[in-house]
A and B are shown apart, each in its own frame.
Chain A
Amino acid sequence: MNTVHLKLIFTAFLVIFMTPLSWGQEQEERISKDDVPASALDYLKTFPFTKKIKWYSETNGTDLSIEAKTKWNGCKYSIEFDTLGQLQDIEVTLNVKDLNLTLRDSISHYFRHSFASYSLCKIQRQYSGNPELIKTQVLNNTSNESTIIRYEIVAKVQTDKVKQLKEFLFDQNGVLLQTKVIPYRNIDNLEY
C-alpha cells in the first residue's frame, strides 16, 4: 500500500471521527442489574415474573430513567422507574382485540378521520399512580379508579404524501392526549 492510499485512509478516518456526535433523540442502553436502584429491584421481586428481566437506562437528553423489560403470561411488560427506583409507569403490550369495544371504536374513529391510511404497529396499556395498586391491577387485570390508565400506540400513518411513524397517547376513553413523531432512522446501510 503506497503513501497515497495511506493518506486517503487517514483522511477518511479523520472525517469520520470529527463528525459532531450530538443528537436530541431518546437513547436506550442495556445496563447490569447491579446498576439498578435497590427499591426498583425490591418492587419487581413482588411480581411473579419467571422469565429473565432485562434492564435498560433511557435518556431523552435531559431526563434519565431505568427500565425493566420482561415477558409474562404471553405479554410483554415494560416497567419504568426514576433514578431513585420510584415507579413511573408500567406498560403492557396488547393486541387490538384486547381493547374494549368502545375504546377500540373511538381510537379507530380517530385514525380513520385523521389519516389517508394507517397501520397500527404496537399498542401498550400504560398504568401510572400508586405502585401497589398498579401491581394488583396489572396482575389481576382489575380496574381501580385511582390508577391512571392510558394507551400508547405506535402507528404508521399517511396524510396526503407524507408518511410517518408516530406515537399516540390516548386516555382510557379514547381521547387523544398527545402525539409524537418517531424520527425516521437512517437505514442506508441496510439498503446498499
Chain B
Amino acid sequence: MKKPICITIFLLLSVTSVRSQQLNQAGLLPSISLTKKIQPASRISLIVETRQVLLNQTKNEKVNWSYFNALTDITAIYSHKLGYNNALAGGYMVRFREGEIGHRSIQQFTIVQRLEGYRLSHRFSTDQTWMPNDPIALRIRYRLASEIPLQGASLDPKEFYIKASTEYLSQLQDNIVEHEVRLIPVLGYDFTDNNKLEAGLDYRRSSLFTESLRARYWLKIAWFRTF
C-alpha cells in the first residue's frame, strides 16, 4: 500500500506547490456518464456535465455568492479496446455556454495498469474546441489517476475507494499558449461493477506561469453507469 500513498502525496504536492492560492470560482460539477457496450471491445458513452457556479470573483472584486449555470457539456465518445488494459477513443462534445453553442472533438488513449492493491490509469488526449467569436483552441492533456480500494486488496461491489488524479493541460489559442493543472481527489462507492458514484474536490489552476492565475474549486459528483 506504500506506492499508492506515495502517488497520492505526489498528486497533492504537484498542485499545492503552485504559488499563491486565489479563489476565482467555486461551485458544483455534477456529471453522469452512461456507457453501452456495443461489441466485446467497443463501447459508446454519453456524458453530461454541468458547471453550477456558487461563488464568483471577477478581477479586483470581492468574492460574491451567486448561483448560475456556467455551462453544460454533452459528450458522445466511442471507445475501442486495443489490448486488455488500453483503449483508443474518439468523441464529440457540444457545449452550451451563456446562450452560445460550441463544439469540441476529442481523441484519447488510455492505459490502465492493474497493480498489487490499486489501479493506475494514464490518459493521453488531445482536443479541438470551436466557440462562436473565439479562435479555435487546441489542447493536449495528460492525466494520471490512481484508484485505491479502502476495504480490501481489490475493489469489489459495495465497497468504497479513493480515486486521486492529476491532469496537466496545455492550450494553444490565438498564438497564445496557456497551461493548466488539475487535482481531483474523490471518494467513490462501487454499488456494482457497472454502477459507481464519486464525490470530491475538482481543483483547477489555470493560466499558470502568467500574472492572471485562476483558481477554481468544484464539488465534483460523478455517476458512472454501464449497460
- Residues of chain A touching chain B, judged by Cβ–Cβ distance below 8 Å, are 1, 9, 12, 16-17, 19-21, 23, 25-30, 54, 56, 69, 76, 121, 156, 161-165, 183-192
Knowing A16-B197, A23-B193, A156-B84 are in contact, say whether A189-B157 is a contact too (CB < 8 A).
no
Q: A187–B119 contact, CB under 8 A?
A: yes
Can you sample 26 A-B contacts with CB below 8 Å? A1-B67, A20-B192, A26-B156, A27-B152, A27-B156, A28-B152, A28-B156, A30-B151, A30-B152, A56-B152, A76-B116, A121-B114, A156-B85, A162-B40, A163-B84, A183-B193, A186-B193, A188-B196, A188-B224, A189-B163, A189-B188, A189-B196, A189-B198, A190-B147, A191-B121, A192-B47
Which residues on the B side are within 8 Å of A23 (C-beta)? Answer: 157, 192-193
Q: B84–A164 contact, CB under 8 A?
A: yes
- How far in angstroms is the closest Cβ of chain A from B193? 5
The total of chain B residues at the interface (CB under 8 A) is 53
Which residues on the A side are within 8 Å of B197 (C-beta)? Answer: 16
Q: A188–B192 contact, CB under 8 A?
A: no
- Which 4 A-B pairs rank lowest in CB-CB distance, beginning with the nearest? A190-B121, A27-B156, A28-B152, A189-B224
Q: B191–A19 contact, CB under 8 A?
A: yes
Q: Is the interface of A mostly helix, strand, loop or mixed?
A: mixed
For residue B159, CB closer than 8 A to chain A, the reply is: yes
For residue B154, CB closer than 8 A to chain A, the reply is: yes
Knowing A19-B191, A23-B192, A164-B84 are in contact, say whether A190-B77 is a contact too (CB < 8 A).
no
Q: How far apart are the CA atoms of A165 and B83 in the complex, in Å?
A: 11
Q: How far apart are the CA atoms of A165 and B85 in the complex, in Å?
A: 10
Please encode chain B, from 171 to 189, with 1 for each CB lying within 8 Å of some chain A CB and 0 for all others.
0000000000000000010
- How far in angstroms is the closest Cβ of chain A from B195? 5
Instruction: Please report the number of residue pairs spanning A and B whose Cβ atoms sit closer than 8 angstroms.
Output: 105
User: Which one, A30, A164, A185, contacts B193 given CB within 8 A?
Assistant: A185
Knowing A19-B192, A20-B192, A29-B152 are in contact, say whether A188-B226 is a contact too (CB < 8 A).
yes
Which residues on the A side are within 8 Å of B159 (C-beta)? Answer: 29
Chain B minimum-CB-distance residue to A157: B84
Please encode chain B, from 111 to 154, with 1 for each CB lying within 8 Å of some chain A CB and 0 for all others.
01010100101010000000000000000000001010001111
With A28-B154, A188-B196, A192-B45 given, name 9 new contacts (CB 8 A).
A27-B156, A29-B156, A29-B159, A165-B84, A186-B193, A186-B196, A191-B79, A192-B47, A192-B77
- How far in angstroms is the closest Cβ of chain B from A30? 5
For residue B110, CB closer than 8 A to chain A, the reply is: yes
For residue B35, CB closer than 8 A to chain A, the reply is: yes
Q: B152–A189 contact, CB under 8 A?
A: no
Which residues on the A side are within 8 Å of B193 (C-beta)? Answer: 23, 25, 183, 185-186
Knowing A186-B226, A187-B112, A189-B188 are in contact, say whether A21-B123 is a contact too (CB < 8 A).
no
- How far in angstroms is the closest Cβ of chain B from A89? 17
Q: B152–A190 contact, CB under 8 A?
A: no
For residue B3, CB closer than 8 A to chain A, the reply is: no
Q: How far apart are the CA atoms of A15 and B114 in the complex, in Å?
A: 30
